[in-house]
């Protein structure tokens, strides 16, 4: 006898917890795509990157995440297969969520930047095939809207296009002012015209959206002009003849601060026992401090391959690099916004399906999340930010330091190229792999130094991760789903 979906509220609760867990894994692994280059070029510290990422990841998730969420939730598995088994689909999505989260944390531990899009798509494929066979997977299906095909084939095409398109943006070195203006325009246009459906922005006429976006771009450019003198003065002061002394003082201060932290830890051992709650809070605080104060550039001295690669890279004018520093931070924020819009779907897309089925009692591709969609997107965005704060430094070091030498000028080209491709893909409903975009752009810029400009070990390691991710997560989700759905006492049907 079939049970109503209202009997499976535990799946909704477990799905919410699991989606935060999966988002945590995305933050630990994939948010490095947005800020690894900024940290690697020393334009930002890990702490500063975490603050900016929290703001822009959550903003991108809430304002634009619904488009890709729909693709993940509706365009991978044929939901018609589950019309008579809504609880089965709920449980299947739960298995996908935990499979994605577990793999991302393992990959982060191994310093392997993998594609979260691969993870989620692989999990959905594995679950659907166990449930009803290959026929339940939407491999390719024509559609009247661009890109004129949906399903797994459209997503696979985007995996190959995203790194190739990102490579072409190495020209950003020469035309960065124009590209910055275009980036502002693109962000504003997609938010206003096709962004937040719940706020009614998607009903804005095309002409009005274009006009508002152009106005925002123009105002931003005008506001930036008066700041140019201050920026130049700051650069001149930083690179004056007193800079070496200031740098030495900074190193001394850093060492002193490190000693003070060590002394404080030693003193804490002699303090009276605290309450368990306070002790737990202290452990979290120390863990957070360790994560955001770590030096991602340590591998330059510790790893001879990385050190030689950095030593052989071309050195540009320090003052010119400093100018790009401000532009790189801006493009990193745009990249982070794009990442939140695209990759939050990988953590909360399956949970959105669980919630919609439980709320309506049926499986439907037309389900509207309404206001609940925003708190679900916010849950994913906050999970991503938490993962970055506690564990994101490992992938930041891999993509920001170990794979190639990143400077502000190089990082600007990398970040802007990746951000433009990801934002456009997000609006078109293509869940692009941000890892592909970022690594593709990084490789394209680094190869300007020749073959020795790229750490081949990290590049191959990343490629292997892309290949095995789909298989690992797909098999894990399939095993979890089969274990639950085929037990003698299961009552999901």
Are the beta carbons of 426 and 342 closer than 8 angstroms? yes
Alpha-carbon span 356 to 369, nearest angstrom: 7
- Give every residue of the chain whose pLDDT is below 70, as ranges: 1-4, 32-33, 64-75, 143-151, 154-183, 186-187, 190-204, 221, 223-293, 338, 341-343, 345-346, 365-370, 419-420, 422-432, 487-493
Closest listed residue to residue 82, CA positions, set 19, 120, 138, 16: 138
The secondary structure of the chain in percent helix, strand, coil, rounded to multiples of 5, reads 80, 0, 20
pLDDT for the residue numbered 195 = 54
CB atoms inside a 10 Å sphere around CB 174: 10
pLDDT for the residue numbered 266 = 36
Alpha-carbon span 343 to 28, nearest angstrom: 13
Q: Match 């140019």 to its residue by tokens.
A: 228
Alpha-carbon span 473 to 170, nearest angstrom: 34
Alpha-carbon span 164 to 188, nearest angstrom: 25
Q: What angle do CA 190, 191, 192 make, to 5 degrees?
A: 90
Alpha-carbon span 217 to 131, nearest angstrom: 49
What's the gap between Cα 184 and its chain centre? 20
Q: 406 — alpha (psi -120 to 50), left (phi > 0) or beta? A: beta
- The 3-class secondary structure across 146-172, one letter per residue, is CCCEECHHHHHHHHHHHHHHHHHHHHH
pLDDT for the residue numbered 481 = 93
Please report which residue ranges of 225-366 form alpha helices under DSSP H.
Answer: 227-238, 243-268, 276-293, 299-302, 304-312, 318-360
Handedness of CA 377, 383, 389, 392 (dihedral sign): negative
pLDDT for the residue numbered 127 = 92
pLDDT for the residue numbered 269 = 40
pLDDT for the residue numbered 173 = 40
**Helix, coil or strand: residue 142:** strand
Which phi and psi angles does 137 have, rounded to 5°? -100, 135
Which pair of tokens denotes residue 180? 């910055």
Q: Output the CA torsion 393→398→400→405 (10° steps).
A: 150
pLDDT for the residue numbered 232 = 58
Alpha-carbon span 232 to 230, nearest angstrom: 5
């Amino acid at each position: 006898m079939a049970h109503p979906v209202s009997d499976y509220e535990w799946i909704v609760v477990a799905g919410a917890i699991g989606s935060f867990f999966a988002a945590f894994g995305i933050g630990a692994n994939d948010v490095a795509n947005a800020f690894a280059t900024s940290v690697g070029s020393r334009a930002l510290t890990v702490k500063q990157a975490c603050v900016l990422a929290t703001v822009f990841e959550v903003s991108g998730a809430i304002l634009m995440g619904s488009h890709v969420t729909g693709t993940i939730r509706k365009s991978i598995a044929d939901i018609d297969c589950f019309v008579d088994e809504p609880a089965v689909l709920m449980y299947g999505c739960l298995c996908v969520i935990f499979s994605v989260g577990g793999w991302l944390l393992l990959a982060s531990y191994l310093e392997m930047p993998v594609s979260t899009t691969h993870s989620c798509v692989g999990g959905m494929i594995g679950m659907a095939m166990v449930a009803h066979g290959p026929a339940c997977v939407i491999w390719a299906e024509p559609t009247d809207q661009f890109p004129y095909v949906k399903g797994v084939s459209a997503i696979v095409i985007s995996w190959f296009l995203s790194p190739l398109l990102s490579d072409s943006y190495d020209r950003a070195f020469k035309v960065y002012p124009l590209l910055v203006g275009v980036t502002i325009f693109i962000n504003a246009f997609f938010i206003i015209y096709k962004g937040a459906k719940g706020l009614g922005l998607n009903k804005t006429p095309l002409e009005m959206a274009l006009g508002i976006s152009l106005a925002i771009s123009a105002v931003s450019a005008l506001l930036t002009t008066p700041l140019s003198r201050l920026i130049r003065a700051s650069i001149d002061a930083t690179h004056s003849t007193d800079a070496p002394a200031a740098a030495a003082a900074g190193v001394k201060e850093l060492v002193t601060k490190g000693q003070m932290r060590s002394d404080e830890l030693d003193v804490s051992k002699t303090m009276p026992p605290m309450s368990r709650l306070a002790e737990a809070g202290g452990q979290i605080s120390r863990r957070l401090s360790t994560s955001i104060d770590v030096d991602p550039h340590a591998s330059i001295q510790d790893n001879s391959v990385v050190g030689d690669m950095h030593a052989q890279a071309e050195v540009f004018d320090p003052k010119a690099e400093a100018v790009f520093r401000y532009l790189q931070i801006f493009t990193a924020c745009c990249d982070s916004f794009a990442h939140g819009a695209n990759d939050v779907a990988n953590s909360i897309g399956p949970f959105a399906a669980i919630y919609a089925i439980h709320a309506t009692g049926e499986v439907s591709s037309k389900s509207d999340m309404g206001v609940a969609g925003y708190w679900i997107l916010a849950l994913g965005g906050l999970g991503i930010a938490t993962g970055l704060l506690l564990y994101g430094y490992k992938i930041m070091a891999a993509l920001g330091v170990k794979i190639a030498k990143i400077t502000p000028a190089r990082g600007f080209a990398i970040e802007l190229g990746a951000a433009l491709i990801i934002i456009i893909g997000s609006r078109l409903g293509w869940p692009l792999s941000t890892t592909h975009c970022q690594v593709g752009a990084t490789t394209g810029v680094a190869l300007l130094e020749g073959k020795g400009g790229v750490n081949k070990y990290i590049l191959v390691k990343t490629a292997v991760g892309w290949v095995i991710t789909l298989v690992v997560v797909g098999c894990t989700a399939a095993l979890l789903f089969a274990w639950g759905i085929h037990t003698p006492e299961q009552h999901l049907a």
